Structure 1
């Protein structure tokens, strides 16, 4: 019992000595104080600021990563509605990113035209039944854009 008490006292003394040496080396001897408490709030909290990312357009590479993530999926009985909806959403995410890109939409003519053609066939209807009806066009548009992007690596790296 006596040896554990002695060991604790020695450890405490060593810690105190280390802190003293550390603060003296930093030129702040005796400056180890608890931080001052925050002043009491006298006004109502302001509305949180909008995140900076919300105002900046999404980068093409990030949108392309989302589109590529659909390549390993397929329309199975349990997830067909989810899958087709996701492919549709990711294509439009790409469309928005390409149109907002600093290089301008003219840099991405083929993918933007492919999405416009798809939209024409869908007639503005993104319901599962319509996506299912146009499934082959939806998937071929995704694959066409994937191939185009693979040929333009400077746009997604």
Structure 2
């Protein structure tokens, strides 16, 4: 029983050592930057040692099979909406306008993702989703500060209209 534990600890120690070497040796040099690949191959070979009775690589070994992490749960609409509401009291002063516009844009898309992933379905939130889609169409692919400033009324307008819509649907954010 102690032998598999020691092997797992040894594999962890080798992993940590090789990871440190990979970071310190990854800068090119005479070997053309191939040391990290060699280190990973050595780790994989050591982890798949056929004389190891404990079977496949230990779960702490990133090159071997391990438990599958559960996928993250979608964000709740109420949490995303609360973050959007937190922007309502801010004003677009010269010192923070670029930050605020970027933040409102990001929070609108956070709300959009949450509404589309909500168990009630995106059809439950048609107006807010349509407002964000209309804003995206107006902005185009340019989400830079200058374009956000040019479309500042649309950015803040979408935020304010979504806030009004959500206030009329308190069950969706409480």
1:99 aligns with 2:116: yes
For 1:68 and 1:42, locate their aligned partners in 2 and report how far apart those are by CA, in whole Å.
51
1:118 to 128, 135, 138: 135
2:167 corresponding residue in structure 1: 150
For 1:103 and 1:121, locate their aligned partners in 2 and report how far apart those are by CA, in whole Å.
28
RMSD, aligned CA:
1.9
Q: TM-score, normalised by structure 1?
A: 0.70
For 2:144 and 2:103, locate their aligned partners in 1 and report how far apart those are by CA, in whole Å.
12
The runs of 5 or more residues in structure 2 that have no matched partner are 13-59
Quick one: structure 1 residues 49 and 62, their matched pair in 2 at CA, closer, same or farther if it must change by over 3 Å? farther
2:11 to 39, 43, 47: 43
1:132 aligns with 2:100: no
Higher RCO structure (Cα 8 Å, ≥6 apart): 1
1:56 corresponding residue in structure 2: 73
Output one character per residue of 1:96-135: Cα deviation in whole Å (capped at 9) or x when no partner.
0000000000000000000000011001211000000000
Output one character per residue of 1:57-110: Cα deviation in whole Å (capped at 9) or x when no partner.
110000001100000101111111000000000000000000000000000000
Q: TM-score, normalised by structure 2?
A: 0.63
Displacement of 1:51 after TM fit?
7.3
Displacement of 1:50 after TM fit?
8.6
Structure ID, larger Rg: 1
| SS of 1:136 mapped into structure 2 | helix
| SS of 2:11 mapped into structure 1 | coil
For 1:100 and 1:147, locate their aligned partners in 2 and report how far apart those are by CA, in whole Å.
21
Displacement of 1:42 after TM fit?
3.0
Displacement of 1:55 after TM fit?
1.6
How many aligned positions are there? 118
